[in-house]
Structure 1
Amino acid sequence: MSAACVLAADVGGTHTRVLLAESDGATCTPLREQHYVSADWPDLLPILENFLAAETRRPACACLAIAGPITGPISSPVAGPIKDCGDGPQHAHVTNLPWSLASDTLAQCLNIPRLALINDFAAVGHGIAALNADDLLTLQAGEPQPCAPRAVLGAGTGLGQALLVWRDGGYDVLSTEGGHMDFAPQNDQQVRLLNSLRALHGHVSCERLCSGSGLAYIYRFLQERRGAAVPEAIAQAFAQPSDQASSPSDPAAAISQAALAGSDALAQEALREFVRIYGAQAGNLALSCLPFAGLYVAGGIAPKILPALTDGEFLRAFNAKGRMEKLTRRIPLHIVVHPTPGLLGAALYAGRLSPGTAAGF
């Protein structure tokens, strides 16, 4: 069977990436890709309408990967056709945007017969199966076991997590909101960070610190305690109003760039603490599901701070699990360096929605 023309989107609090592709559910051939600044738009629908307005090709199916929980019928096998799990539309609310979405409304407005919503890190889980060796950087080879669980997590605007469980000859992807688990400090400085955030927010999730805004908060916290001078580039990034998302200024990016360049000692310390928190949370996820087929670190931040993730600090925090350290050392640990694994996964999922593809009905 031939591949179908599909629409895929990866919808995040900072960026929305849209792709038109040909997909049979197992492979994907990109046709056109465009990136949008999410906060520049009132909702997702006008973004998709803007993208499709330039197209003569009309997608038969669509999959939209959303940074937030999905309610309604969901089916997420990595292989084989996508089957409906019940009646009614799907709904989603983007965690870091005031966008509420309904699959039936989007399908009707876009005139796309089959349209599905999935969690953004479920989409990463679907994309993992199609990655090549060049798309991964291995931190720990471990002792891989076929058919064992897999797990993915990644820090960006937020902190996403998903699980993959083997069933009936393939993996099912299970969405989670694990990034909103309680933050558990691992040292005295992290205890102080926890207390500071608790005074502001009450509940403190892992995402409060293991995200772009989390890195910025760590830096500001350390700077205020030390009274240290702030380099101009970082100061300008902090001065950027939060409602002007289209600006290239980004405190987390400025901090990580200064840290990796060695131009600001405070930025280096902030990034080290961020990496420790990130590694510890990856280790917590590993203990929760024992992903002996691999734990994959994705998200927008990881490819930008590879030197900090590969210097040993992340791996030490990952394995610092007391009596369970021997266990975590057996778990394969990879960094995903593919630029858009979630968009790839959404396109593959969309391809399996089509009755005209090899993987469809």
Structure 2
Amino acid sequence: MPDYGDKVSLVADVGGTNTRVALAEGRALRDESVRKFRNSDFESLESLLLQFEDDVGLTCDAAAVAIAGPVHDGRGTLTNLDWTVDPEALANVTGARTVSVLNDLQAQAHALLAMPRSHLTPVVTVESKETGSRRLVIGIGTGFNSALAIPNGPALMVTPSECGHVLLPAGNSEDLELAEFIVASEGFASVEDALSGRGLENIHAWHASRCGKSETRSSADVLTAIKNGDDVANRTLETFVRIMGSVCGDLALIHLPFAGIYLVGGVARAVAPYLRDFGFVESLRSKGRLSGYMERFPVCVVEDDFAALSGLAVHLDDLRRR
């Protein structure tokens, strides 16, 4: 069997705000090559990769890009950024013979095969032997999405989705009021409009309006205000965590990921310290007659900000071995 361990790949994780790029040998990232760029500094992914070439070099036989947006027939467009990623353009700028474009949550799911346990922080621990079962990756950052990882021999088959754009569920009168507040400004209330960085801002603006204030804060400012004990910010966090738990529970019932729910993304990591105290577990498991059944699903937070890059390296290594 050929040895693919020394094959060099370019991997790039393109989010709505930042892009992370690295070179990889086999499944291992070259740590010294990892770079993080602000998307607003570039006109396109191609111009960003040319900057990476100036910094690090761009000799590779394969390239994979994960994007925060839908991918169809190998071509993807970002949801929160006016960039399109085309395989031919990617091959032209990198010189790679093998090119792959994935949804970013697919890349995060592929990373689970190579992720050390030290990069995982448990939220819900379950005594389970379901290691060969399905895993669900849920991303909360600039946007919201999920991907299901299904065991497929030594690899994973990862199915994409765009579930962040489904209708925001309203389980009580308060949720309905929030949804109506979002509809008034956005025209539609999606899950992503509540569970994302923008979602934190929307929920905070709604709570402020209920107090008779017209106040707009960035998600970073809201998170800082939470640490400082601000009352409106704390109510924002309580609502955010409750909806987060409920939506994660809905997705768990749809996909039955007995091998675990993995929370990824900057916003997920930022709110992780508050999940237990603000009712995440109770909300996750509040599913009527199946509330007891929900105790079967372990939940953890992925602390590795560069996990998607590792997942892309794993994905390319799998492609080479087929």
**TM-score interval (norm. to shorter):** over 0.9
Contact 2:49/2:93 (<8 A) preserved? no
Q: For the Cα contact (< 8 Å) 1:66–1:117, is it kept in 2?
A: yes
The answer to whether the 8 Å contact 1:302/1:309 transfers is no
Q: Does 1:14 align with 2:55?
A: no
Query: In the alignment, does 2:242 pair up with 1:258?
Result: no
- Of the three residues 151, 168, 173, the one matched with 2:153 is 168
1:143-192 CA distance string (max 9 Å, x none): 43132211010211000200011233542111111111211023322110
User: Residue 143 of structure 1 contacts residue 292 of structure 1 at CA under 8 Å; is this kept in 2?
Assistant: no
Matched, 1:317 2:283: yes
| Candidates 176, 186, 191, aligned match of 1:201 | 186
Residues 227 and 146 of structure 1, relative CA distance in 2, 3 Å threshold? same
**Number of residue pairs aligned between Structure 1 and Structure 2:** 318
Q: Deviations over 1:50-79 (max 9, x none)?
A: 10122346121111001111111xxxxxxx
Q: TM-score, normalised on structure 1?
A: 0.83
Q: Deviations over 1:197-217 (max 9, x none)?
A: 223333321001100001011
Q: In structure 1, which of residues 273, 288, 291 is the aligned counterpart of residue 257 of structure 2?
A: 291
Structure 1 contact 148–166 (Cα < 8 Å) conserved = yes
Task: Determine whether 1:122 maps to 2:106.
Answer: yes
**Given the alignment, which residue of 271, 286, 302 partners 2:268?**
302
In 1, Cα distance between the equivalents of 2:58 and 2:41?
26
- Please show how residues 197-276 of structure 1 align to structure 2 within 5 Å: 197-228=182-213, 238=217, 251-262=218-229, 264-276=230-242
State the identity %: 31
Quick one: which amino acid aligns to residue 150 of structure 1?
Answer: R
Query: What's the counterpart of residue 85 of structure 2?
Result: 101
List 4+ stretches of structure 1 deviating above 6 A.
none
In 2, are the aligned partners of 1:21 and 1:347 still within 8 Å (CA)? yes
Q: Which amino acid aligns with 2:55?
A: A
**Letter paired with 1:127:** A
Contact 1:294-1:332 at 8 Å conserved across structures: yes
CA–CA distance in structure 1, aligned partners of residues 153 and 112 of structure 2: 18
Deviates more, 1:91-100 or 1:108-117: 108-117
Match of 1:329 among 268, 274, 295: 295
Q: For structure 1, which runs of at least 5 residues remain unmatched after alignment? A: 73-89, 239-250, 355-359
> CA separation in 2, counterparts of 1:28 and 1:35?
14
- What is the DSSP-based 3-state SS (H/G/I as helix, E as strand, rest coil) of the residue aligned with 1:301? helix
Of stretches 302-311 and 96-105 in structure 1, the one that deviates more from structure 2 is 302-311
Aligned to 1:350: 316
Structure 2: how far apart are the matches of 1:302 and 1:197? 21
Counterpart residue number, 1:60: 61
Structure 1 CA distance for aligned equivalents of residues 275 and 107 of structure 2: 23
Q: CA deviation at 1:109?
A: 2.7
- Give the whole-Å Cα distance in 1 for the aligned partners of 2:18 and 2:159: 23
Kept in 2: contact 1:260–1:307 (CA 8 A): no
Which amino acid is 2:64 matched to? C
**1:28 touches 1:348 (CA, 8 Å); kept in 2?**
no
Q: Give distance in 2, aligned partners of 1:69 and 1:42.
A: 20
Q: CA deviation at 1:276?
A: 1.0
Alignment partners' CA distance in 2, 1:4 and 1:270: 47
Aligned pair 1:134/2:101, yes or no? no
Measured in 1, the distance between the counterparts of 2:42 and 2:57 equals 23
**Greater RCO (Cα-Cα under 8 Å, separation 6 or more):** 1
Counterpart for residue 243 of structure 1: none
Asked whether the 8 Å contact 1:151–1:163 carries over to 2, the reply is yes
Give 1:279's match in structure 2, choosing from 235, 238, 245.
245
Alpha-carbon distance between aligned partners in 1 of 2:203 and 2:296, rounded to the nearest angstrom: 31
Over the residues paired in the alignment, what is the CA RMSD in angstroms? Answer: 1.8
CA distance in structure 2 between the aligned counterparts of 1:4 and 1:310, rounded to whole angstroms: 43
* 1:165–1:171 Cα contact (<8 Å) kept: yes
Q: 2: CA distance between counterparts of 1:312 and 1:267? A: 13
**Normalising to structure 2: TM-score of the pair?**
0.93
> What secondary structure does 2:16 align onto?
coil
> 1: distance between equivalents of 2:187 and 2:63?
39
> Could you tell me how far apart the structure 1 residues matched to 2:315 and 2:47 are?
23
Rounded to whole Å, the distance in 1 between the matches of 2:23 and 2:31 is 6
